[in-house]
Chain A
């Protein structure tokens, strides 16, 4: 409540005290100059005016390319506004004198953990900022030790950064900023390359800095679950602030959030779908009011219950594509073990005694925390790693035989994380053609395959003659995916194909996967996203290199002990379905928003017809 008042003050009182502001922007415009190379300038930020109060946690949301990251760079004078001004703790970024004070006050944590570490050891890296500020050695030593203690990396002080995990590297980046004694943290998609466990830990750390040291936090993110914890949210679209408000104010306008290309929290999305299934005109007014009041899960359950009493939902007939599963086993892994640097003191057991079988046409999710052996396991499937112990068979081919490997790779397409980083040809056509050509696919099949692949990923045919390096990140990702699809494999192994994309981008990728299923392909999807895993037929859970479980989605997600032990989360929709079951007094199951909503509607309709009878 108190917070609510603070915001109202910011927005209505015009003569507020500037000292209370961390960041203030006035009609800021910024464009990346491109006119030199004959392209019109790219406007990244348009007329942005905002005020951030000290000590608050602000989230900035928006699709890829909506100008969020540019805005962050404007906040600490990495970019300077073309028009308007940015004032940070009373200092104008256009003022040359205050640039270093601004950067000291506003520390920035970037997206890629590897590309922001300067030091060759952990402590040297933490010292980098204070060294630049010209602080005496003894004081630097004190600050380094303190900062490392706060983020919990004291034991790693003399280690090389390459020995840290992704989550630890991001903590190191935070320590490096803490040692500069900042007032504000800017997080530019800092958790997007981490697994959910590490991301959660990082956010807990950030939250504690906000609460204990009164830091101002500005978080740029796609992650709705983390934005919900913020005090205030700005949503950006095409360089402008599309709308803003407290999480409650923002998420009680679901149509607006969805139109900005963002997700809703699962329970609100279920409520949204549920409301959309009512066609009766008389409840439209009621719905408009009800959306405005629903934010917490409890409110949502109650509102849905009330709504079900006054009207009757219509059944959504969502055509779920038929499973084309056959009994034929296409992948068989028997007693597979693999140890890195075997027989040395650095030996790491990556995979231990794993056995499983996948049938033709199945969709499998492989889940597990970072370092659980997922990458090692999938690298075995096409012979990139040859088993030290055990057997991996793809149909009747064996990865232990060298002569089988080219045939296996032609049949099993493997797509690693961030596949756009492997593009290298001068045209999109050549790049997509690289794989199929290596596997001996000749014209006219080659062109036909390429055109088909480009169609599946939704790119226009005229893109084929362009250079892959002039495309946007999202387009590059699609070209890379097309490069694997063009070989027309019968099995696809996809490692986090949607990583780093915004919600709409992620939905598109899932669209390709469904398309491949309709074509009868077998799919193995490595993912951290439990929403995606819930759409598959079976889930393979890896935990510390061992196969913890390989079973249907229902069995895996209802085994809470297993999930906890493997460091995984239950899908939010499943948890919400339990609340609904309690309220409605009937068993409502489901693991995705769609499943939960349609199950609820079916239950309500059945109850109605029972009553009629």
Chain B
């Protein structure tokens, strides 16, 4: 079940990417995404592709794992390619009855596919493969802290995220249990008409909801019993710390992005 998660899962390791502060990774990812989406030409994208290859190498994660995460978006990439390849204007390259493929369309399609793949690749490398969900929610909490001035519930959101993560396996197990119990009572989730199928799923969803409410209630009690009273005055077992590594890494990537963006606006026709 877990293997089918959209963007892969944490791959334990000690590489440079693993050791980066999750906040650094989060910010760099946003910078990279912007840089990926802005340019319309091939050269900057190839440069970014090169930097992704660099990331893959230093992450020390087997290529198979990384490609696995790309598999889940293969249809989106194909879809984007097809849409783009037929929507170009300009000099026709191939004409087959009513279908026309232009040179511009083909270039756009290739670039769009590359862009999408790089987006997913970078996200996977920075966030899912080398960062635990817990680090991620800690990073978000820390980054959103300044928003507390506007009464933004940064701590609460991070706490909800980590509890949601904690209960994913529990709820999967529960779903399986309920499904087995209802199947034993004759429920059938594979065959039958739409009405019968829908009825079948009600028999899973209602108990699942009820048990989730019960769990929420009991968990709230357990948290209160352990002195939980919101984010104020709370400390952390693992505090986040920026290191020299974060500094160097950020410098390199921000420099690359800055050059690309600068070139894009200053010399739009050059590259």
Give per-residue flags for A6-25: 1 if the beta carbon is below 8 A from chain B beta carbons, else 0.
00000000000000000000
Known A129-B227, A131-B236, A180-B227; judge A116-B170 contact (CB<8 A): no
Residues of A within 8 A of B233 (CB): 134
Judging by beta carbons under 8 Å apart, are A114 and B203 in contact? no
B186: chain A residues at CB < 8 Å are 406, 409-410, 434-435, 437-439, 487
B224 close to A114 (CB less than 8 A) = no
Q: Contacts A115-B218, A134-B234: A419 and B165 contacting too (C-beta < 8 A)?
A: no
| Cross-chain contact of A133 among B134, B215, B225, B227 (Cβ < 8 A) | B227
Q: Are B227 and A100 in contact (CB under 8 A)?
A: yes
State whether the Cβ of A78 lies closer than 8 Å to any Cβ in chain B: yes
User: Which secondary structure dominates where chain A touches chain B?
Assistant: helix
Is B182 an interface residue, CB under 8 A from the partner?
yes
Distance between B215 CB and nearest chain A CB, rounded to angstroms: 5
Interface size on A, residues (CB 8 A): 65
B16-40: which have CB < 8 Å to A?
Answer: none
Contact of A144 among B162, B210, B237 (CB under 8 A): B237
**Cβ–Cβ contact A110 & B229, under 8 A:** no
Q: A117-B166, A136-B235, A160-B169 are in contact. Are A413 and B184 (CB under 8 A)?
A: yes
Which stretch (B50-58, B173-181, B261-269) binds chain A? Answer: B173-181
Contact mask B69-95 → A, CB, 8 Å, 1/0? 000000000000000000000000000
Q: Confirm or deny: B15 has a beta carbon within 8 angstroms of a beta carbon on chain A.
A: no
Contact across chains for B182 and A422 when beta carbons are under 8 A apart = yes
Measured CA separation A205–B133 after assembly (Å): 32
CA gap between A489 and B13 in the complex, in Å: 54
Contact A419 B226 (CB under 8 A): no
Residues of B within 8 A of A484 (CB): 184-185
**Residues of B contacting A382 in the complex (Cβ-Cβ under 8 angstroms):** 184
Max chain A Cβ within 10 angstroms of own Cβ: one of B165, B180, B188, B211: B180
Q: Which B residue sits closest to A126, measured CB to CB?
A: B237
- Chain A 436-466 per-residue mask, 1 if CB under 8 angstroms from chain B, else 0: 0111000000000000000000000000000
Query: Which chain A residues in 103-129 approach chain B with CB under 8 Å?
Result: 103-104, 107-108, 110, 112, 114-121, 123-124, 127-129
Smallest CB–CB gap between A93 and chain B, Å? Answer: 13
- Given contacts A112-B218, A120-B133, A435-B186, whether A421 and B211 have CB atoms under 8 Å apart is yes
Whether A416 contacts B181 in the complex (CB less than 8 A), given A162-B169, A424-B206, comes out as yes
In the bound assembly, the distance between CA atoms of A73 and B217 in angstroms comes to 14
Is the C-beta of B202 less than 8 angstroms from some C-beta in chain A? Answer: yes
* A125, chain B: closest CB distance, angstroms: 9
Chain A CB count within 10 A is highest, among B203, B222, B233, for B222
In Å, the complex CA distance between A482 and B192 comes to: 26
Task: Please name all residues of chain B whose beta carbon is closer than 8 Å to the beta carbon of A131 when the two chains form the complex.
Answer: 234-237
Q: CB-CB < 8 A to A437: which residues of B?
A: 186
Query: Of all chain A residues, which has the CB nearest B211?
Result: A421
Q: Does A141 contact B (CB under 8 A)?
A: yes
- Give per-residue flags for A462-482: 1 if the beta carbon is below 8 A from chain B beta carbons, else 0: 000000010000000000000
Pairwise interchain contact A424-B203, C-beta atoms closer than 8 A: yes
Residues in chain B near residue A140, CB distance under 8 A: 235-237
CA–CA, A525 and B187, complex, Å = 23
**A134 in contact with B166 (CB, 8 Å):** no
Q: Is the CB of B181 within 8 A of A422?
A: yes
Q: How far is the CA of A120 from the CA of B168 in the complex (A)?
A: 10
Q: Is B219 an interface residue (CB 8 A)?
A: yes
In the assembled complex, the Cα of A132 lies from the Cα of B234 at a distance in Å of 5
Select one of A108, A162, A438 contacting B185, CB under 8 A.
Answer: A438
Contacting residues, chain B, for A265 (C-beta < 8 A):
none
- In angstroms, Cα B81 to Cα A437, docked, is 50
Contact indicator B229/A162 (Cβ below 8 Å): no
Quick check: A116 and B218 within 8 Å, CB to CB? Answer: yes
- Report if A423 contacts B (CB, 8 A): yes
A137 beta carbon closer than 8 Å to chain B: yes
- B207 contacts the other chain (CB 8 A): yes
Whether B166 pairs with A119 at a CB distance below 8 angstroms is: yes
- Residue from A108, A124, A424 within 8 A of B237 (CB atoms): A124
Report how far A437 CA is from B250 CA in the complex, Å.
Answer: 64
Q: Which of A103, A114, A120, A424 contacts B227 (CB 8 A)?
A: A103
Task: Give A100 to B226 CA distance when docked, in angstroms.
Answer: 9
Structural contact, A100 and B181, CB atoms closer than 8 A: no
**For the complex, is A216 an interface residue (Cβ under 8 Å from B)?**
no
Determine if B207 and A76 form an interchain contact, defined as CB atoms under 8 angstroms apart.
Answer: no
The CA-CA distance from A351 to B45 in the complex, in Å, is 54
B97 at the interface (CB under 8 A from A): no
Q: Is B183 an interface residue (CB 8 A)?
A: yes
- In the complex, are the beta carbons of B225 and A434 less than 8 A apart? no
Residues of A within 8 A of B181 (CB): 416, 419, 421-422
Q: Nearest-CB distance from A210 to chain B (Å)?
A: 20
Residues of A contacting B184 in the complex (Cβ-Cβ under 8 angstroms): 382, 384, 409, 413-416, 484
Residues B112-161 near A (CB distance < 8 A): 132-134
Given contacts A103-B227, A438-B187, contact A416 B235 (CB under 8 A): no
User: Taking each of A110, A406, A424, A439, which has the highest tally of chain B beta carbons within 10 Å of its own beta carbon?
Assistant: A424
Residue A166 is within 8 A (CB to CB) of chain B in the complex: no
**Smallest CB-CB separation from A177: which chain B residue?**
B226
Question: With A180-B226, A469-B210 in contact, is A137–B238 under 8 Å at CB?
Answer: yes
Q: A141's contact among B173, B177, B185, B237, by CB below 8 Å, is which?
A: B237
Most A Cβ at <10 Å: residue of B218, B224, B227, B234: B227
In the complex, chain A residues whose CB is within 8 Å of the CB of B180: 379, 384, 416
In this assembly, does B43 line the interface, its C-beta being within 8 Å of a C-beta of chain A?
Answer: no
Q: A128-B228, A136-B235 are in contact. Are A434 and B207 (CB under 8 A)?
A: no
The 4 closest A-B pairs by CB, nearest first: A438-B186, A127-B237, A116-B222, A424-B206
Beyond A78-B225, A118-B163, A120-B166: 10 further Cβ-contacts under 8 Å? A128-B223, A130-B235, A134-B233, A134-B234, A137-B239, A144-B237, A409-B184, A416-B181, A421-B210, A422-B203
Measured CB to CB, the residues of B under 8 A from A are 132-134, 162-163, 165-166, 169-170, 173, 177-178, 180-188, 202-203, 206-207, 210-211, 214-215, 218-219, 221-229, 233-239
Q: List 13 A-B contacts (CB under 8 A).
A: A78-B221, A78-B224, A100-B227, A100-B229, A115-B214, A118-B163, A129-B227, A131-B237, A137-B236, A416-B180, A421-B181, A439-B186, A487-B186
